Every structure is written in C-alpha cells, then in structure tokens.
Amino acid sequence: MRLIKTVATVLFTLLLTNVYAQKEDMLLGKWNVKYEDSKETAIYEIVKEGAEYKGYSIQYTDEKGVLHKEKELIFPDITFDGNSGESEYKVTYEGKLYNIDGKFTLKDPTTIILSYSYWGYKGREVWTKID
C-alpha cells in the first residue's frame, strides 16, 4: 500500500511538472505585432536558450511600408510563470537605445499583452501568435 502511495505521488508530481512546463512554453514561437497608432508592424520570436527565455525582433515594417529583416535581441531576460512575466525591453528610437521594463500577460494561447511605461508614456502592444 505504501508503495502504491509513493508511486502515485511521483506520477502526480511528474504530471504537474509537465503541465507547468507546457504552460511556460506557450510563450515560445513567433508573434505578430500591429501598432495601433502607426503603420508599423513587427514580428518577434521568443525562444528558450538553455533554461532562459529570450525574445528577438526578426523583422519589422516601417511607416513607409519598407520591410526590414533582422535578428536583434530585444528581450534578454524573460521571466514567465505560464500566465505573466516580465523582461527588460530594449528599444532603439532615433539612434538611441532605451531599456524599458516590460510586463507580459498571456491573454489566451494565441494572444500576449505587453505593457510598459517610460518617461510618462504608457505603451501597450497586442501580440498574435503566428506559429
């Protein structure tokens, strides 16, 4: 009887660990961002490198409609618990690099809300999963 309880506890723990890891990994993949106040769009890719999550900008379309392909690390240290998380958000604007605190919220498996605030400006991006 004691062996059955031990085996059941181990199996339950493994199941919970697997479910939690799957939920954390929902952040992985490519995400499309359309900015409400401009014609610009971006595609970000969240990857897992070892035990760390990182986010790259892999392409963007500027206000003139010109497509730029790149792979630039913009979220170097994502923490994510399966529902929400945070990371420094590295933004280049007019040739200057800004480090902004960003907050992630997983709205559903295909939608992330990124919110941030700097110099009195509050920003919000809605990301849609594309793969």
Q: How does pLDDT run across 2-26, given as a tens digit for each residue?
A: 545 444 343 333 333 333 445 567 8
Task: Give the CATH number of the domain where residue 24 resides.
Answer: 2.40.128.520
Report the number of distinct structural domains present in the chain.
1
pTM of the model: 0.77
CA distances, 128 to each of 19, 30, 121 (Å):
22, 8, 23
**pLDDT single digits (tens) 99-109:** 999 999 999 99
Q: Tens digits of per-residue pLDDT, 40-92?
A: 899 999 999 998 999 999 998 888 989 999 899 999 999 998 889 999 999 88
Cite the beta strand spans of 7-118 per DSSP E.
29-34, 41-49, 52-61, 67-80, 84-93, 96-108, 111-118
Q: Which domain holds residue 9?
A: 2-129
56 DSSP β-pair partners = 45, 73
